[in-house]
């Protein structure tokens, strides 16, 4: 097509806030990918055709035509259509005599909240729970499927139930054009008799998720202070990538590169081209004391060729940088296990090393010397096992405990998972796009700098326990954000020993925690919050339930003003909250911090104050017997 035929080029794009290390729009390899379909028009107005649910109801499995648009089912392997229902047995193809389709929107009543149909973008419009008390698993959904492009015919294959309406946007003068993503070229098969306008759309740039605070901030990677050099400890907390639309699919993957020297823009581009960035969260391994530089970007999600749409594809983000200051590398020593040695070989000086009293750094050569008289078959050296922090009831403090011999490493999952009884370990940034169901007593260890994200955690029945542990720095994170119910629920005992737990729900009348009979916090932090726009609670204890805080920080935030469902901490009957140590913050700006049936007390030996407030800023010590009736309550501050 000659250049003179181009009237204008309009470019649509989206760029994140904040300053990047360099502008990737100016670099050829890192330019955002063009969408798979251009739109070319001569300026004529598009027209819209709408079918309602009553139009197709009596058409059975036959072709149906109305207002110049036809749907043709392929029933060779079973009915692809029956009235206003589409099925996955065959393809249903839309054609029109009016021009080219540029957009098709199908509003329908799906049987579940999620749906994947190749080439179509699915959006959950509404989820209604008619009877949450007696039938909590009964839902009614309204969804919408959208196709966008420029084609003479469009096909769909999948279960699309109870179609309410189909809206076709048709351009009578659209010119078909094909985009080749690999070659970066577009082809107009036949130039019309007239000038055309090329509209170029870019895939949206992948972004970080935002916090649920009153003033949301991007959940970006952040330096971990005080990490010793030359260790296997993570040096940044992993960031969180935003989901694509209303789906649970991430917009991409965070990629990292670590250098002990600052790198130029050109060097970073080369490293990205060479695939030197890694999805592994950076560690202090082989790094020296002082400043190191962590570079990161989001590698945009990109499905296989042929399935790429603007609903499931994102462009790479800009590369940004963090400066991390590492402490001095730790020094290590060696201890001899002489349990089975002859008595004379247990004497001081028989077995020695050349390690000085202060120890040696990782990588140092060490000599072991034996001055006894026995013949030695061989010497074995083993690295001391990993440890995690666990509450010791006798010492009343967190102490180091060795990892069990058998553990299960938690890995990414795109769907629901079930955990049997045992110990599970999280390393790095792990996401489970679904529900974690406990089918036994579970110990969960989240290593320093690691993060586990899930949609919900629940017991398969109320007899199971979940205990969550961290390591020395207590920087491990569990983040559970539920949009369809309570974030963490249905357990006999839930314990937090030494990591950071965030449980949020945006579901109406839902909350962070529900039906936890015994809720113990020994260290780390717990943040339970309703984040929706209606009403919900932070923590809901069952009748005769208890929450015991021995250490760490606990925050419970409710919202709204609806009966029993808007408190910071609520109960269905009567429950107790006892603070032995640490801190508690409860609030509900629309109701009260604590349900009237919650009994708040201080444990033996605890000297912190119970304080109340009406606005969260001016506080009064509470010494009255009974449950405080204020919107804000705090203990131990």
Half-sphere exposure of 269 (CA within 13 A, CB side): 13
Strand order in the sheet with 163-171: 47-52, 163-171, 100-108, 140-151, 121-128
Q: Which of 245, 315, 91, 69 is nearest to 168 (CA)?
A: 69
How much is the pLDDT for 20?
A: 33
Cα–Cα distance measured from residue 587 to residue 622, given in angstroms and rounded to the nearest whole number: 15
Residue 202's DSSP bridge partners are 34
How much is the pLDDT for 115?
A: 84
Cα–Cα distance measured from residue 479 to residue 503, given in angstroms and rounded to the nearest whole number: 6
Contact present, 479 and 473 (Cβ < 8 Å) = no
How much is the pLDDT for 201?
A: 66
Q: String of b and e for 472-500 (b: at least 16 CB within 10 Å)?
A: ebbbbbbbbbbbbbbbbbbbbbbbbbbbb
Contact present, 43 and 192 (Cβ < 8 Å) = no
How much is the pLDDT for 33?
A: 33
Cα–Cα distance measured from residue 619 to residue 612, given in angstroms and rounded to the nearest whole number: 6
Cα–Cα distance measured from residue 560 to residue 565, given in angstroms and rounded to the nearest whole number: 8
How much is the pLDDT for 269?
A: 84
Query: Model-level pTM?
Result: 0.52
Strand order in the sheet with 69-73: 64-66, 69-73, 92-96, 153-156
Residue for token pair 């790429």: 308
| Tokens at 233, concatenated | 């400890």
| Tokens at 13, concatenated | 């794009």
Residues sharing a CB contact under 8 Å with residue 527, sequence separation 6 or more, in sequence order = 500, 501, 502, 503, 504, 512, 555
Contact present, 296 and 238 (Cβ < 8 Å) = no
How much is the pLDDT for 460?
A: 86
Contact present, 549 and 579 (Cβ < 8 Å) = yes
Contact present, 490 and 545 (Cβ < 8 Å) = no
- The 3-state DSSP composition of the chain as helix, strand, coil percent (nearest 5) reads 5, 45, 50
* Block mean pLDDT (10 aa), the chain, length 637: 27 30 31 36 64 91 94 94 94 91 94 85 87 78 91 92 94 74 76 73 84 80 86 86 84 95 92 92 91 95 66 85 90 87 94 91 91 92 86 93 92 91 91 94 93 94 92 91 95 96 93 96 96 91 96 94 82 93 93 92 93 93 90 96
Q: Which of 147, 79, 91 is nearest to 119 (CA)?
A: 147
DSSP state of 273: H
Q: Which of 628, 576, 620 is nearest to 602 (CA)?
A: 576
How much is the pLDDT for 305?
A: 55
Cα–Cα distance measured from residue 470 to residue 397, given in angstroms and rounded to the nearest whole number: 14
Q: String of b and e for 48-67 (b: at least 16 CB within 10 Å)?
A: ebebebebbeebebeebeee
The alpha-helical segments, DSSP class H, found in 167-263 are none
Cα–Cα distance measured from residue 605 to residue 482, given in angstroms and rounded to the nearest whole number: 37
Q: Which of 466, 493, 497 is nearest to 393 (CA)?
A: 497
Helix (H, G, I), strand (E, B) or coil at 24: helix
């Amino acid at each position: 097509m000659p250049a003179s035929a181009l009237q204008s080029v309009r470019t649509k794009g989206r760029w994140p806030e904040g300053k990047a290390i360099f502008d990737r729009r100016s670099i050829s390899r890192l330019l955002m990918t063009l969408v798979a379909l251009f739109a070319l028009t001569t300026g004529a107005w598009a027209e819209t055709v709408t079918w309602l649910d009553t139009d197709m109801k009596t058409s059975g499995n036959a072709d149906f035509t109305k207002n110049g648009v036809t749907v043709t089912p392929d029933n060779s392997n079973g009915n692809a259509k029956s009235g206003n229902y589409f099925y996955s047995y065959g393809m249903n193809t839309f054609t029109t005599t009016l021009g080219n389709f540029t957009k098709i929107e199908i509003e329908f009543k799906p049987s579940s909240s999620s749906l994947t149909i190749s080439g179509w973008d699915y959006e959950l419009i509404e989820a209604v729970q008619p009877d949450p008390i007696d039938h909590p698993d009964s839902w009614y959904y309204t969804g919408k499927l959208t196709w966008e492009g420029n084609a003479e015919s469009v096909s769909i294959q999948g279960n699309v139930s109870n179609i309410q309406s189909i809206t076709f946007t048709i351009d009578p003068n659209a010119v078909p054009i094909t985009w080749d993503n690999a070659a970066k070229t577009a082809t107009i098969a036949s130039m019309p008799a007239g000038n055309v306008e090329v509209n170029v759309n870019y895939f949206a740039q992948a972004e970080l998720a935002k916090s649920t605070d009153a003033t949301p901030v991007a959940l970006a990677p952040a330096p971990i202070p005080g990490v010793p050099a030359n260790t296997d400890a993570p040096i940044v907390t992993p960031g969180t990538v935003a989901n694509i639309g209303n789906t649970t699919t991430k917009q991409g993957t965070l990629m990292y590169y670590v250098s002990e020297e600052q790198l130029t823009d050109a060097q970073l581009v080369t490293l990205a081209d060479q695939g030197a960035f890694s999805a592994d969260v950076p560690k202090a391994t082989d790094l020296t004391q002082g400043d190191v530089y962590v570079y990161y970007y989001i590698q945009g999600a990109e499905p296989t060729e042929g399935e790429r749409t603007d609903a499931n594809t994102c462009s790479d983000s800009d590369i940004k940088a963090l400066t991390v200051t590492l402490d001095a590398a730790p020094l290590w020593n060696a201890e001899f296990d002489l349990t089975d040695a002859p008595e004379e070989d247990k004497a001081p000086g028989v077995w020695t090393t050349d390690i000085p009293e202060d120890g040696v750094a990782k990588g140092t050569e060490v000599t072991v010397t034996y001055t006894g008289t026995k013949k030695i078959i061989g010497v074995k050296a083993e690295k001391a096992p990993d440890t995690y922090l666990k509450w010791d009831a006798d010492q009343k403090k967190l102490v180091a405990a060795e990892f069990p011999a058998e553990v299960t490493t938690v890995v990414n999952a795109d769907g629901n998972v079930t955990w049997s009884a045992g110990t599970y370990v999280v390393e790095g940034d792990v996401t489970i796009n679904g529900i974690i169901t406990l089918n036994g007593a579970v110990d969960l260890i989240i290593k320093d700098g690691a993060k586990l994200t899930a949609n919900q955690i629940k017991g398969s029945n109320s007899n199971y326990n979940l205990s969550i542990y961290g390591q020395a720095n207590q920087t491990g994170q569990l983040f559970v954000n539920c949009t369809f119910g309570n974030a963490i629920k249905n357990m006999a005992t839930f314990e937090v020993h030494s990591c950071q737990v965030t449980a949020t729900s945006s579901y109406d009348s839902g909350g962070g925690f529900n039906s936890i009979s015994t809720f113990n916090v020994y260290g780390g932090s717990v943040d339970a919050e309703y984040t929706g726009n209606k009403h919900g609670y932070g923590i809901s204890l069952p009748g005769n339930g208890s929450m015991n805080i021995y250490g760490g920080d606990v925050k419970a935030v409710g919202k709204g003003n609806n009966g029993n469902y808007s408190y910071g901490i609520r109960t269905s009957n009567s429950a107790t909250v006892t603070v032995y140590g640490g801190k508690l913050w409860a609030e509900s700006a629309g109701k009260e911090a604590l349900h009237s049936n919650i009994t708040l007390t201080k444990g033996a030996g605890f000297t912190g104050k119970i304080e109340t407030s009406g606005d969260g800023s001016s506080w009064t010590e509470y010494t009255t017997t009974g449950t405080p009736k204020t919107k804000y309550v705090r203990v131990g501050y």
